[in-house]
A and B are shown apart, each in its own frame.
Chain A
Amino acid sequence: MSRLTLHRLAVVVLVVGLLVTIALAVLSRVNYLRNEQRLVTAQTQLIGTTLAAAPLDVSRRLDSAVRVVAATQDATQFEPLLSSALAPGGRYSSVLLFTLVDGTPRLLLTVGQPPMLSATSPQASAIIDSATKSDALQVTRLVDGSNQRIGYALSASGPHGAYVGYAEQLLPTNRRLALPPGSPLRGSDYALYFGPAATPSALIATNASRLPLQGIRSTTRVPFGSSSLTLTLSPQGSLLGRFAQSVALAIAIGGTLFTVFATVLCERLVRRRTVAEELTTVSRRLYQAERSVAETLQHALLPRQLPDCPELEIAVRYLPGTDGIEVGGDWYDVVALDDRRVFFTIGDVSGRGLDAAILMGSLRTAINAYAVEGLDPGVILDKAGRLVDIALDGRFATVLCGRIDLGSGVAELANAGHPGPVLVTAGRSELVPTELGPPIGLGHSYATTRLRVAVGSTLVGYTDGLVERRGESITVGLERLRRAAGSAAGSAAGSGQSPGSVEALLDVLLADLIPQGPSDDVAVLGIRWRG
């Protein structure tokens, strides 16, 4: 699998993580926008409320001036009453006083600058007419190029007639208004329109460079006398604050990073588990393969057929140990050299596994070959030792071999580090002392021990698995074997074999010494000379 492809689980983690991140980021953004809009709307409403109070404030001076004139019929009061309300100190740039004569307005006074409204225009007649008909403040707007004014008109009736006062207020030229400090409009883009609609021609003032305003905004319409004002607000920054504004982005970035991290982690874990599983499978297969090769080899190496000669009764046993799982290096062998002599071997290669089994096979073959050549057992051990290089791999072999003359019952034995054989006669058993040399491969010269075997007695060779027990000296195990062999020879039946046979002897012996099966491999060879 290439480094860049992902396992399915990691893909799932990636997709789910990204989807969740996107969903959360989107939700967060939506929520933010919604709250921001709410705030903007509330702010706009608030400012609108403030604006709604404006007309009253704006028209107060005019209103009282007109009422006074109407009540006193004295127009001379008009100008003094308005002097402080006039620009540059006050709001009004001009004020006009009309009186109504038979329903027709007649201009009485002009205070301040010349008004933009022409007193004789239809617009003037219209506003005067509305003022007389209504109590409400009449409001109108006049535009002349970049100049604009707002006009207010209201009437008051006296005992001798009605008067109408008309005041004009300057509106920001070029539609730009400098905001005083502390103005609630600071921090926002705004556009103020005269009338109910936010049309470009109705624009009174704005601080934005482009209209209509973009982004989150709110529009409110505020009654203004006989007309209305329309205000649109759009905050320049975030009312909720920069932190709230960036939460969605933070979620998106954080969520993506975390998802990527989780995906990578998941992928690595899955890959490691896959590798571990593969390794386990491979190693299990390798182990089984090696085991079966070693077993096959061992089966092939142990003799299939024992020589069938009337002078000898031969029995063999091989018990693999329960402790180890690999195959061991124990072996036995019996070959007829000619019709007078038989050669036997019992040996033990140290260690376990294929290597031990292979060395065992080589030794067995070599020893048998030397024996067939007629060499003495001691010499055979000398020569067989050349197959072993202990310094190389630490592997050594103990061997007990012997040549039995079938006519005389004399056995010539040679022993390289191996436990000596047990000789079992009727009811008596003894450990045969041999001239013991070290395990083969050290260049030692092995001596030959001559042993006269009585008719009917049995020579038992074995490997150390039969006598070795942890925590006790090997001599204790040897003595135990000697006694067990003696009593096994004494006991008659019990093993299903014909009583007194070598097979029976071995069965009883093994049952006595290792009833649970051996922990280490055991090979046992019993040879009885019938004479």
Chain B
Amino acid sequence: MAGLSDSTPALRVRLQESTQGVVVVLGGDLDLATFGLLERAMAPLLERPDVRILEFDLADLTFMDSSGLSVLLRAVSAGKQVRLRNPSAIVRDLVTATGLSAVVEVEP
């Protein structure tokens, strides 16, 4: 399992709650090996009706593939408003290429 043998985990997840909603700060790689960590962190948020906006801070996210997309889509499907902030070029291209820009906000 990625991250278990390194001193820095392959994926870093930090949650920040505010009155506006929840900010999920991601760092590292979001892929098949690590997306479970994010899913588990987000599962309670998806259940809470008071959490309506989920903002993902992707400034430190270096990689994302379709497993990362599944986490975002799950939040959309659960009725949350999803925003992606500061995605890298690769992440932005992936989001555009899979038509996600129709259902998530990307800023910038």
Contact = CB atoms under 8 A, between A and B. Distances in A.
Interface string A467-485: 0101111110010000000
Nearest to A445: B102
Interface of B: 39, 46, 63, 65-67, 69-71, 73-74, 76-78, 89-90, 93-94, 97-100, 102-103
A389 to B, nearest CB: 7
Contact of B74 (A394, A415, A468): A394
A417 B70 CA distance: 12
Interface stretch (A44-52, A219-227, A431-439): A431-439
Interface of A: 350-351, 389-391, 394-396, 398, 415-419, 436-439, 441-442, 444, 464, 468, 470-475, 478
A444 B102 contact: yes
Contacts of B89: 473
Contact of A389 (B69, B70, B77): B77
B46 A398 contact: no
Given A394-B39, A437-B99, A471 B63 contact: yes
A396 B97 contact: no
Contacts of B67: 350
Given A438-B102, A472-B90, 15 more contacts: A350-B69, A351-B70, A389-B77, A391-B78, A394-B73, A396-B70, A417-B98, A436-B99, A437-B99, A438-B98, A439-B73, A444-B102, A473-B90, A474-B94, A478-B97
Contacts of B94: 473-474
A389 B78 CA distance: 10
A431 to B, nearest CB: 11
A433 to B, nearest CB: 12
Given A468-B65, A473-B89, A395 B99 contact: no
Contacts of B76: 390, 438, 442
Given A391-B46, A396-B69, A442 B103 contact: yes
Main secondary structure of the interface of A (DSSP, over half): loop
Given A396-B73, A442-B77, A472-B90, A416 B99 contact: yes
A437 B65 CA distance: 18
Nearest to A471: B63
B17 to A, nearest CB: 21
10 contacts: A350-B69, A350-B70, A390-B74, A394-B70, A436-B99, A436-B102, A437-B99, A439-B98, A474-B90, A474-B94
Contacts of A468: 65
A394 B39 CA distance: 9
A347 to B, nearest CB: 13
Contacts of B99: 415-417, 436-439
A351 to B, nearest CB: 8
